[in-house]
Amino acid sequence: MNIEQVRDYTLSLYGVTEDQPFGDDIITFRLEGKIFLCLWVGGSKHDMKESAPRFAVKLSPERNEELREQFSAVTPAWHWNKKHWSDVYYELLDEAQVEEWIRESYLLVASKLPKAVRQQYLCAVKAE
């Protein structure tokens, strides 16, 4: 999976918006203003030790631990709360796996929205 495929898939989820509040080298994806994925597009401002393509994804603390133990391409997120966020080096993983984690993050954020708003997102994603 490449960076455009990650972006296209994420934007295909119902109600997702993107912006760049942290500069030109990071794209954030939001649901109702809540960030669920942060895609590094390159550049030096937010560069890390490894320059491999990656995104930070929000998952439950238990899920983050599980994935980090299972996959070397999943590490604690740099510059995010490491309990709730993991960096995913998506080019090293299967496309279906990456899409599953993006969707899981989306659903986690949707599940925390007010009940009146939440249903439209949960129903839209489950219908796909």
Chain segment 28-58, per-residue pLDDT in tens:
999 999 999 999 987 655 454 456 899 999 9
Q: pTM of the prediction?
A: 0.89
Count Cβ neighbours within 10 Å for each residue of 40-59 and write b for 16 or more, e otherwise: beeeeeeeeeeeebbbbbbb
Record: fold of 3-127? Aspartate Aminotransferase, domain 1 (3.90.1150)
- Domain segments of the chain: what residues? 3-127
- The pLDDT score that the predictor gives to residue 13 is 95
Mean pLDDT along residues 70-94? 93
Q: Average pLDDT, whole number, for the chain? A: 90
- The pLDDT score that the predictor gives to residue 122 is 77
- The pLDDT score that the predictor gives to residue 87 is 96
3-state helix, strand, coil in the chain (%, to 5): 40, 20, 35
Place of tokens 């942060």: 38
- The pLDDT score that the predictor gives to residue 123 is 76
Q: What is the pLDDT of residues 84-95, one digit of tens each?
A: 999 999 999 999
